Amino acid sequence: MASEKRSFQAEVSRLLDIVAHSLYSDKEIFLRELISNASDACDKLRYAALMQPELVGDAAEFRVLLTPDKAARTLTVADNGIGMNHDELIDNLGTIARSGTAAFVQNLSGEQGKDMALIGQFGVGFYSAFMVASEVEVIARKAGEAQAWRWVSDGRGEFTVDPVEDGSAPVRGTTVILHLRENEDEFLEPHRLRAIVKKYSDHIALPIVLKDGDKEETVNNAAALWTRPRSEITPEQYKEFYHHVGHSFDEPWLTLHNRAEGKIEYTNLLFVPSSKPFDLFDPARKHHVKLYVRRVFITDDCQALLPSYLRFLRGIVDSEDLPLNVSREMLQNNPILARMRSQITKRVLGELAKKATDAPEEYAKFWENFGAVVKEGLYEDFEQRDTIIPLVRFRSTASEDLISLDDYVGRMKPGQEAIYTITGDQLDQLKRSPQLEGFRAKGVEVLLLTDPVDEFWLPSLGQYKEHQFKSVTRGGADLAKIAADGEDKDKPKEADDKPSGNVAGLIAIFKLALGDAVKDVRASDRLTDSAVCLVADEGDMDMHLERLLKQHRQLDAAAKRILEINPRNKLVEGLAAMVGKEGASNDLGEFAWLLLDQARIVEGEPLPDPSAFARRLSGLLEKGIAFQPAA
C-alpha cells in the first residue's frame, strides 16, 4: 500500500510552530505528557476488557516502557494499552476536534509566558514531544485488530500514515519513538529519565519500566495516589497528579482528598484549577472527573457523577460499591451514584464556603474564573440553592470589591425594599448606563451583572431574604420612597424642585409623534443628567435578555419600550419651553425621534433607520445654524 501523506489541521500547525520553538521553559515535561497518555490508554483497555476479555488475552499486565537508545539517538515510550487504528491516528494526532479551536489559536501570540498558559488550558500534551524531537514516529495497533499502522512527522506541517507489514509493531498498544535533536542528549541518560519519572509520574498507578541495555527497572511507585493517606502525600505529588489527571499545566487552586465510609464507600481526589479550562463554556457542559471502581478506570464521561455547574473540577472518584462491569447506561439512573453525587457536591460547596470566609481574596480569584458557572446551580439545583447563594459574589456601583448578597442587604437605604440589578455585556458599559443616575444620586447600590446566566437565575430565585430582585431598566423603580444620604424621605419636596416648562405638553407631543414606536412616554425620576433613556414596562421582558434571545434567534418580535425623559435636563427644559409656540410642533416631533434614537444608541441597540436619524439630525442642525446671528 502506498504511503499516505496528509497535512495537519491549520490549528495544529500553529501549535506545533510555537511548541517547536521552545515554548515551555521545562522541556522535560514532554515525558510527563507521553507517560500520561500511555497511562490513559491502558486505563481504557482495562475497562474495555471487562466486557471483552479477549482484547487482553494472556497479556493482562499493563505497563509503560521507556527505552533510550544512544546509538540511534532515540527515546521510545511504549504502552500495551488500547492502541489506535488508521482513523484514530489521523484524528488524534493530526486534528484538534474541539469547539472553539480556531478562536484559541488566534489568541496565540508567540510570547512564551502567555502562550504556555493558553496551551496548558487547551491540553495538547502529545505535541510537546516536538520540543525535543526533530521527528516523531508512532507505531500503533488497536486492541483486537490485526493491522498495525505507522504515523511519522517532523512537525513542520505534514505527516504520513503507512501500514506496518514488517512485524515491528507491538501486539497491541502504542509505541512513540522520538528522534532527538542534536542538543537533547540528556534525555538518553537513564539517571535523567529516572529523575523525571520520579518528579512528575511517580503517582501513575501502573509500572513505568526503564530499559537500560538488558536490564529493566520499575522507576515509579506504581500505586494509585488516592489510596494513600493524606499525611503521606506531599503538595508536589498532589500537583503532579493534578497535571496528569487534568492534562493541565497550571497549579491547583484547591485540593479535596476525602474518603467516605458508611452506607456507601468511595474516595475522591478532586482539584479546582487556578485558571479557566479552555472548554469551560463548551455547549456540552461536560465535567472531566474520572470514575474508577476499586482502582479500575471505568469512564471519564459519567455526567451523572457531578452537576454541570461543577464542571471546572478535575480529578477522580473511586467507588467501592459500584459493580466493575457497570455500563454507561446503568450509570445514568444508579441510586449509589446519585448518593455519591449529592455527597460530593455538598463537600465541594462546603470547601468553597470555607475559602470564601477564611481567604476572601483568594476566593475572589476563584469567583472571577468560575463564578459564571457556579451561578448555573441557582436555577438548576434546587436542593443546593441555599448552599450556593452565600457563595455568589457581585460587582456593584458602591464598591470595587466583590460583594455578597448579605453585604448588599446590610447596606440598603432607609425606605429601600428591593435589591436593584442591571444586566449587560460589559462592566464599563453598565457603569455608564443612564438608568443608574437616579440610584447613584440617592446612594442606592445596584448590582452589575454581566454573565448571560444572570438573566435566568434571577427570575428563578425571585427574592433574597424577602427582598425582591428588581431591574433598574424596568418601570416602577419607586425611587421616591428612598431617602438620599442626609435627606428626610418624609419631607415634602420644595416647589423649586418641580420641573419647569410645559413638560406634560411636551410628553403629549412626543407620544403623538412617536406613535407605535414606543409603549409610552413619561417623565423620569431615575435620570439626573441624561435627557432620555429606554426602560421595559414592569411586566415585560428585561431589555438585555431580549437582546440575548434575539441574537440567538430565540425571539422574533421585540416588546415596545417606554421612553423616559428627564424634566430637569437643560435640553428637555428648552424643548418644553417651545410647546405652544407657532410652528414648533413639527420640530418637537423631529426631536422626539432623535431622542428616541439617542436612547437606542446608549442601550447598544441598532437604529431601525440610520438614514432617517442622519436626515433629522442634519435638518435640526441646519435650523440651529440659521438662527445664529451673522458675525
Cell numbers for 526: 431615575
> How many Å apart are CA 528 and CA 171, to the nearest integer?
79
- The pLDDT assigned to 477 comes to 66
Query: Spelled out in words, what is the top-level CATH class assigned to the domain 393-492?
Result: alpha beta
Report which of residues 120 and 186 the model is more confident about.
186
For the cut 80, the answer to whether the pLDDT of residue 409 exceeds it is: yes
> Can you list the positions of beta strands (E) in 129-188?
133-141, 148-153, 158-164, 173-180
CB 247 within 8 A of CB 289: no
Domain spanning 498-624: CATH superfamily = Heat shock protein 90, C-terminal domain (1.20.120.790)
For the cut 60, the answer to whether the pLDDT of residue 106 exceeds it is: no
Amino acid identity, position 474: R
Cell numbers for 330: 446503568
State the Cα angle at 95 between 282 and 167, rounded to 5°.
135
Dihedral over Cα of 538, 543, 549, 553: its sign: positive
Confidence of residue 1 (pLDDT cuts 50, 70, 90): low
For the cut 80, the answer to whether the pLDDT of residue 252 exceeds it is: yes
- The pLDDT assigned to 545 comes to 79
- The pLDDT assigned to 116 comes to 46
- The pLDDT assigned to 207 comes to 95
Q: Which residues contact 373 (CB under 8 A, 6 or more apart)?
A: 280, 281, 309, 310, 311, 312
108 half-sphere exposure, CB direction, 13 A CA radius: 21
How many Å separate Cα 100 from the centre of its chain? 12
> How many Å apart are CA 327 and CA 400, to the nearest integer?
50
How large is the average pLDDT for residues 447-470?
A: 92
User: Pairing between strand 215-218 and 208-212?
Assistant: antiparallel
How many Å separate Cα 271 from the centre of its chain? 16
Q: What is the pLDDT of residues 128-149, one digit of tens each?
A: 888 899 999 999 999 999 999 9
CB 2 within 8 A of CB 92: no
From the CB of residue 194, how many other CB atoms can be counted at a distance below 10 Å?
17
DSSP lists the bridge partners of residue 257 as 269
- The pLDDT assigned to 631 comes to 47
**What is the share, in percent, of the chain residues with pLDDT greater than 70?**
86
Confidence of residue 104 (pLDDT cuts 50, 70, 90): very low
Report which of residues 325 and 451 the model is more confident about.
451
Q: What is the pLDDT of residues 5-62, one digit of tens each?
A: 877 766 666 666 666 554 455 788 889 889 988 998 999 898 888 889 999 887 778 9
Confidence of residue 491 (pLDDT cuts 50, 70, 90): low
- The pLDDT assigned to 17 comes to 66
CB 207 within 8 A of CB 222: yes
Confidence of residue 96 (pLDDT cuts 50, 70, 90): low
Q: What is the pLDDT of residues 273-290, one digit of tens each?
A: 999 887 888 888 988 899
pTM score: 0.75
Q: Which has the minimum average pLDDT: 14-28, 353-367, 382-396, 581-595?
A: 14-28
State the Cα angle at 350 between 400 and 301, rounded to 5°.
100
Secondary structure letter of residue 147 according to DSSP = -
The candidate with the shortest Cα–Cα distance to 250, out of 366, 424, 399, is 366
Q: What is the pLDDT of residues 495-516, one digit of tens each?
A: 444 444 589 999 999 999 999 9
CB 148 within 8 A of CB 164: yes
User: Pairing between strand 419-423 and 467-471?
Assistant: parallel
User: Pairing between strand 208-212 and 266-273?
Assistant: unpaired
Give whole-number Cα distances, 279 to 116, 123, 242, 290, 605, in Å: 17, 10, 17, 16, 30
Domain spanning 4-220: CATH superfamily = Histidine kinase-like ATPase, C-terminal domain (3.30.565.10)
Q: Which residues contact 495 (CB under 8 A, 6 or more apart)?
A: none
CATH 3.30.565.10 domain range(s) in the chain = 4-220
Report which of residues 16 and 306 the model is more confident about.
306
387-402 burial string, b = 16+ CB within 10 Å, else e? bbbebbbbbbbbeeeb
- The pLDDT assigned to 343 comes to 96
CATH number of 226-364: 3.30.230.80
Residue 209 host element (H or E): strand 208-212
Q: What is the pLDDT of residues 607-623, one digit of tens each?
A: 989 999 999 889 888 87
Report which of residues 265 and 604 the model is more confident about.
265
- The pLDDT assigned to 490 comes to 55
Q: Which has the minimum average pLDDT: 233-242, 331-340, 448-457, 544-553?
A: 544-553
For the cut 90, the answer to whether the pLDDT of residue 98 exceeds it is: no
> How many Å apart are CA 129 and CA 14, to the nearest integer?
15
Residue 292 host element (H or E): strand 288-293
- The pLDDT assigned to 99 comes to 40
Query: If DSSP codes are grouped into helix, strand and coil, which group holds residue 93?
Result: helix
- The pLDDT assigned to 457 comes to 93
- The pLDDT assigned to 223 comes to 83
Cell numbers for 476: 416602577
Query: If DSSP codes are grouped into helix, strand and coil, which group holds residue 420?
Result: strand
- The pLDDT assigned to 628 comes to 54
For the cut 70, the answer to whether the pLDDT of residue 253 exceeds it is: yes
Most confident of the ranges 153-157, 166-170, 339-343, 459-463: 339-343
CATH 3.40.50.11260 domain range(s) in the chain = 393-492
Q: What is the pLDDT of residues 365-391, one digit of tens each?
A: 999 999 999 999 999 999 999 999 999
For the cut 50, the answer to whether the pLDDT of residue 221 exceeds it is: yes
**What is the share, in percent, of the chain residues with pLDDT greater than 90?**
53
- Helix axes of 29-51 and 190-200: crossing angle, nearest 10 degrees: 70
